[in-house]
DNA sequence: TATCTTAATGAAAGTCAATCTCAATCAATT
DNA sequence: AATTGATTGAGATTGACTTTCATTAAGATA
C-alpha cells in the first residue's frame, strides 16, 4: 500500500500542534527517513543510519524521544520483544499483521489473519476489556533453518 | 490443576542429570518456591522474596541463572514484555493461555482460546514454520479502570 | 569415609538499552 | 526583533541482566 508522505507529514504537524509541541526539523527528518526505510528496525540501527547521513545530525536522545512520539502518533509500533531488544516497524499504509520469528536465523515472517483478529475481539468483549493494541509473536524455526542438518 | 511437586522435582533432577548439571540446594529451593508462588512474577521480586526467607540465601546471579534453566526445562515462561520489564509465570499444570494486560492498573487477565491456537498452527503450516512457543499480549483498559471518571 | 574433579555459587564489575539532566538552541507567537 | 517556552545534544544515570573469578559444594571414585 502506498502512502502519501506529504499527507502523513501534514497529519503529524496537526498532531504536534494539538499537543502544543513544535514542528522541528529533527522530527520531520525522522518521519521522512522511516517512511522510506522499508524494514523492521531497532532504535540503535536508526541512530547509526541517521548519523551516516552527514547532512544533519540527530542525537541518540532525540531519536529515542521521537520514536516514542511516533508511537503515540501511531506511525510506528513495537512488533517484537526478544532478548531485551525491541524491534519496531513503520506501519502507516500497512494492514495490521503479526509475526513469525525464527530463533535460529532471526528471520521475521509477516502474516495477516483476520480470523485471529476477530477472535481476539471476541475475547476482549467477553472480559469487558477495551483493547488498544496487541502483539502476537510466534517463535520457532523457519523452513530454511530446518533444512540445514 | 494440581501438580505433584515431588514428581516435578524428580523430572527436574533427571533433566539436570541428562545435562550433566548438579542437583543443588538453590535449584531445588527455587523450584519449590515457584511451585507455591501462584502468581505472575518478575525476577527482582523473586530475588527479594528469596532474600526474605532467611533460612537460606540465594544470590541474584543464581536466581537469574536458574530462571533461565527452568525456562529451558519448561517449568516457567516469559509471558509479558512491557516497558523493559519481563513478567514470568510458572506453567506446570496450567493449560496454555494468553493475556490481557491493563495499561492503566497493570491487571493481568488470563484467557484460553483453542480456536486462536489452532489458527496459529494453521498459519505456521502455511509458512512451513515450526513453532516452538508464542506470546500473545493484548494491551488495553480493563472494565474497572474504564468505570473510573 | 576421605579424596578428587568439576560444576555451581556469590559478590562485584561490566554491559547495554533506555532515560534523565541541564545548559544551549530553536520554533513560534507577539 | 524580542520574548517565551519547548527541544536538543552530550554526557551522566538507571535498571535489568550478564560475566568474571575466587571460593564452595556436588557427587564420583577409591
Ligand atoms: Mn511487520
Ligand atoms: Mn498467565
Ligand atoms: Zn531461520
Ligand atoms: Zn485496569
pLDDT digit string, tens, across residues A65-96: 999 999 999 999 999 999 999 999 999 999 99
The rounded distance, in Å, linking the Cα atoms of A127 and A135 is 18
Say how many Å lie between the CA of residue A133 and the centre of ligand 2: 18
- Joined together, the cell numbers standing for residue B58 give 540465594
Local structure of B1: helix, strand or coil: coil
CATH 3.30.1490.190 in chain B: give the residue spans.
95-149
Residue A1 binned pLDDT confidence (cut-offs 50, 70, 90): low
- What single-letter DSSP state applies at residue B53? S
Residue A58 has a pLDDT of: 94
**So what's the pLDDT on residue B56?**
78
Beta strands in chain A (DSSP E): 76-82, 85-90, 98-102, 108-111, 130-141
C-alpha cell at B121: 498452527
Tell me how far apart the alpha carbons of residues B88 and B66 are, in angstroms, rounded to a whole number: 13
Which class in CATH covers the domain with range B1-94?
mainly alpha
For ligand 1, the distance from its centroid to the CA atom of residue A40, given in whole angstroms, is: 7
Q: Which residues surround ligand 3, an ion (CB under 5 A)?
A: A 102, 104-105, 107, 142, 145
Q: Which three cell numbers stand for residue A124?
A: 476482549
Q: Where in chain A is the domain with CATH 1.10.10.10?
A: 1-94
Protein-contacted bases of chain D (C-beta within 7 A): 5-11, 16-20, 25-27
pLDDT band at residue B2, thresholds of 50, 70 and 90? Answer: low
CATH superfamily of domain region B95-149: Ferric-uptake regulator, C-terminal dimerisarion domain (3.30.1490.190)
Class of residue B54 by CB neighbours under 10 A (exposed 0-12, middle 13-18, buried 19+): exposed
Helical axes B43-52 vs B60-73, angle rounded to 10°: 120
Q: What is the least distance, in Å, from the CA of A55 to any CA of chain B?
A: 33
Q: What is the mean pLDDT of residues A110-132?
A: 98
Taking the C-alpha atoms of residue B23 and residue B27, their distance in angstroms, rounded to an integer, is 7
pTM of the model: 0.93
Amino acid at each position: 500500500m502506498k502512502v502519501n508522505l506529504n499527507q502523513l507529514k501534514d497529519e503529524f504537524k496537526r498532531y504536534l500542534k494539538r499537543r502544543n509541541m513544535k514542528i522541528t526539523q529533527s522530527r520531520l527528518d525522522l518521519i521522512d527517513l522511516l517512511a522510506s526505510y522499508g524494514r523492521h528496525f531497532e532504535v540503535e540501527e536508526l541512530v547509526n543510519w541517521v548519523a551516516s547521513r552527514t547532512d544533519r545530525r540527530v542525537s541518540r536522545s532525540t531519536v529515542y524521544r521521537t520514536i516514542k512520539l511516533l508511537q503515540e502518533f501511531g506511525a510506528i509500533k513495537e512488533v517484537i520483544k526478544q532478548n531485551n531488544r525491541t524491534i519496531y516497524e513503520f506501519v502507516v499504509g500497512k494492514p495490521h499483521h503479526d509475526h513469525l520469528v525464527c530463533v535460529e536465523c532471526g528471520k521475521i515472517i509477516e502474516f495477516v489473519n483476520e480470523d485471529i483478529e476477530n477472535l481476539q475481539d471476541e475475547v476482549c468483549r467477553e472480559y469487558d476489556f477495551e483493547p488498544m493494541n496487541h502483539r502476537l509473536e510466534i517463535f520457532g524455526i523457519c523452513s530454511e533453518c530446518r533444512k540445514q542438518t
